[in-house]
Structure 1
């Protein structure tokens, strides 16, 4: 199954170009109906509300959890933050809760018409506010598009990120081609610009959903993606599939400025890997970053090929012994929703987050971590 279509409104603008985009976007409504409020699998409370995001706390403060808070940054892409908390047995937040630390999730909100000019810098500034709200320093867990945003945040504000987990994120989009990156590279930038224009300044998720009928997924496909142990024809699994469809069927609108910046900076020019990315007025030099890293990839990821994430190890200044890498079977969404992956991978991540940070060294070796598939954790 091609899951590349799930995450970016631009995926429906391929070789047909601008004429195709104009035809498909002709029915865009300037005022789409309000999105339903998400239903969460795990108990949580809103700790802070911004115009662009909600900061949700998933642990119970009265439980005595202490230490550096964990902040999970969901991707700001087509679908909402329930990618990390879909259903019982399919919740990354529940697994990270085993670390017994204050646990938060960034829930990015669908963009409004008055937010069309918000760009990457604006969302980085929002992250600063949220991290300051939880104490000024966190262990950052970035999922997919939230992974590169977290890496930029940690490099720009090193005192605010103690450890960093990057899962299935496009850090170096030229390190290994994926169907998604190939399409982004091949599609003219003018096509993406036209899509934002036809959406009246927004990259409209509802239209992408309508064009590709993304909500109409077969039960067998959802069963495999969730790695469910429930019988395919059972009522219990039907409830799980309904939760997945509810998530898939409520897409986000993205600001056109943010959408176009992401396409151009990450995919067209690969600025982060080339050392040319500027964030909040400062060029991001990943070699100056020393935070311990846990890099995670899926073998069959159509969005971010494994080496797009693992390339981070050779770009940063983190000591080699402070970098772990893990590749697991399956596709992109399996990393965050798959039952087996959640039961095996993420408790290890929680334990790593809970361990003391290794001491920093004054000099960093310039050695390169080799590529290829990795079957286990490496120090």
Structure 2
């Protein structure tokens, strides 16, 4: 029995926030069920002004090491020596601050506390009109420039939609990635069902093209929020952030308000990139089937032999556990160098939840820091006990 079977299949009833953070497919599904011409009338108009720079504040001190066409390379390092760890952030509805949301709710902060001193993050740019024809290759090419800037091989961490991009990059340039961590990332869409993959399967491809046409080549984040009409109560924020009852009311209110501000700040996506992701990843399942072409070459996951860590949420409605864990059988990594961890949480809590950050992420840091030549590196328990009333399952191989 797989880990996901043991904890039950991904729910068919996602929270609106989790679906929307991952990708604006829900809006496209709604379009597919309604006369598309009516949406031309009722959709809020696209903002004609150039996309402004995102203003949601970072929780951790950082500088910009490199400016590229698709991204700013954020530097959170506390030292200038040592191996670089690069976090590949999602490029979806919200910005890269998902990796550094707030004190106590930050992947960047936790990794730094655990001894990773050279930390970098891809901050993908909100798409402007001149970026509307950017494709997946544009993002892979700039990711490659960033890795070269950091001096490969690097340790690469891919979050959510940044996870499949990190995996494709690592398989395309296997000598440039020493270790790979994928968190809540879709890899094999056929391995299990999720809300996100169901949306993509059910909506005709033509509807996605129409969505891009309506945005004049851009998928507008603010339009998606306005169309879906999501409301967010404090309970949803509490569950996601796992703040607990010990937090004082004023601090809790400030945290919930920060969560609302973060959610309200969206990024726009290039239409060409968006359509490729929908078709290549979610409809054709090209990564898992060995048909994904990256920078002129078909990606062969079996050539990727780096140690790999897979972190999933048992209650993740956006990415099913088996959609991520399928990576273990697709890559060429030795079984004893593959770590699979399940946390009992939803999608966003994998990156923002206090409990997950306190348990799983120190283990991720240990995976990146340990010497795999030492016997204890692979002498892990197959099952970890429940912690704080929440079950965890970790396996090697």
TM (norm. structure 2) is 0.87
1:28 aligned residue (46, 61, 82): 46
- Counterpart in 1 of 2:7? none
Is 1:196–1:202's contact at 8 Å kept on the other side of the alignment? yes
- Counterpart in 2 of 1:50? 68
2:90 aligned residue (51, 75, 79): 75
Tell me: CA distance 1:21–1:325, structure 2 relative to 1, closer, same or farther (3 Å). Answer: farther
Does residue 95 in structure 1 map to residue 113 in structure 2?
A: no
RMSD across aligned C-alpha pairs, in angstroms?
Answer: 1.9
1:41 aligned residue (38, 41, 59): 59
2-side partners of 1:100 and 1:174: how far apart? Answer: 35
- Counterpart in 2 of 1:170? 186
2-side partners of 1:32 and 1:159: how far apart? Answer: 38
Deviation at 1:358, TM superposition (A): 4.9
2:351 aligned residue (336, 345, 352): 336
2-side partners of 1:297 and 1:24: how far apart? Answer: 38
1-side partners of 2:58 and 2:314: how far apart? Answer: 28
**Deviations for 1:83-114, whole angstroms, at most 9, x for unmatched residues?**
11111110010111123331111111101100
1-side partners of 2:301 and 2:355: how far apart? Answer: 33
1-side partners of 2:42 and 2:190: how far apart? Answer: 30
2-side partners of 1:316 and 1:374: how far apart? Answer: 24
- Counterpart in 2 of 1:238? 253
Other structure's SS at 1:300 match: coil
Other structure's SS at 1:349 match: helix
**Deviations for 1:171-227, whole angstroms, at most 9, x for unmatched residues?**
00110000111011110000000011110100111100112234x310111011100
Deviation at 1:328, TM superposition (A): 0.6
**Deviations for 1:58-101, whole angstroms, at most 9, x for unmatched residues?**
12236xxx432100011011100111111111001011112333
- Counterpart in 2 of 1:298? 313
Aligned residue pairs: how many? 362
Does residue 11 in structure 1 map to residue 26 in structure 2?
A: yes
2-side partners of 1:61 and 1:144: how far apart? Answer: 27
2-side partners of 1:26 and 1:73: how far apart? Answer: 31
- Counterpart in 2 of 1:198? 214
Tell me: CA distance 1:37–1:267, structure 2 relative to 1, closer, same or farther (3 Å). Answer: same
Deviation at 1:50, TM superposition (A): 1.6
Tell me: CA distance 1:375–1:108, structure 2 relative to 1, closer, same or farther (3 Å). Answer: same
Does residue 253 in structure 1 map to residue 271 in structure 2?
A: no
Tell me: CA distance 1:135–1:248, structure 2 relative to 1, closer, same or farther (3 Å). Answer: same
* Structure 1 unmatched ranges of 5 or more: 360-372
Deviation at 1:27, TM superposition (A): 2.4
**Deviations for 1:240-273, whole angstroms, at most 9, x for unmatched residues?**
1121111110110000000000000001100000
2-side partners of 1:78 and 1:164: how far apart? Answer: 24
